[in-house]
Amino acid sequence: MKTATLEKKTHSVKAKHPSDLIRQIQKGLRFSELETLQNSIDMPFEQLAAKLSISRSTLQRRKAAGRLSPDESDKVIRYSRLVRQAADFFGDIEKARAWLKHPQYGLGGAVPLDYARTEAGAREVENLLGRMKYGVYS
């Protein structure tokens, strides 16, 4: 199934239960999870790090250590969740990427990946995807 393949490509953190995911975030995700997200979004690493509020020097330290901080891990999970939901909706990772990177009327002209810098913004992006899925256009 196409969406199962997309899900594997867009979200590699394996958590069966929310408490497992919380533990993984608190421990700090492996740096490779950030690399997986970068490949999913198809965005230059430095640009993605800026969206996640990770400075260049911090990015280099995290790469050397091989692990992200809990706060950074939470942001990676947030963005991964949005990529997965957009890919599920569009059925195509390329269309999902394009949608996430361009201004959307339903977000007041904001770019979904920019809007998702906060959890509240990410929820609005998720809500918009849900409205689109059920035909409730904004």
- Token pair recorded at residue 66: 């091989």
What is the pLDDT, as a whole number, of residue 3?
A: 42
Per-residue pLDDT of the chain (138 residues; tens, 9 = 90+): 344 444 444 445 666 789 999 999 999 999 999 999 999 999 998 899 999 999 989 999 999 999 999 999 999 999 999 999 999 999 999 999 999 999 999 999 999 999 999 999 999 999 999 999 998 865
* 53 lies in some domain: yes
What is the pLDDT, as a whole number, of residue 66?
A: 97
The separation between the first and the last C-alpha atoms of the chain, rounded to the nearest angstrom, is 30
* 8 lies in some domain: yes
Rounded Cα distance, 114 and 96, in Å: 15
What is the secondary structure of 79-93 as a DSSP string? HHHHHHHHHHHHSSH
* 138 lies in some domain: no
**Burial (0-12, 13-18, 19+ Cβ within 10 Å), 114:** middle
Closest to 115 (Cα-Cα) out of 85, 84, 79: 79
- Could you give the number of structural domains in the chain? 1
* 93 lies in some domain: yes
Tell me the residue range of the domain where 72 lies. Answer: 2-133
* 101 lies in some domain: yes
Handedness of CA 9, 101, 18, 53 (dihedral sign): positive
The helix-helix angle for 70-90 and 18-27 (nearest 10°) equals 130
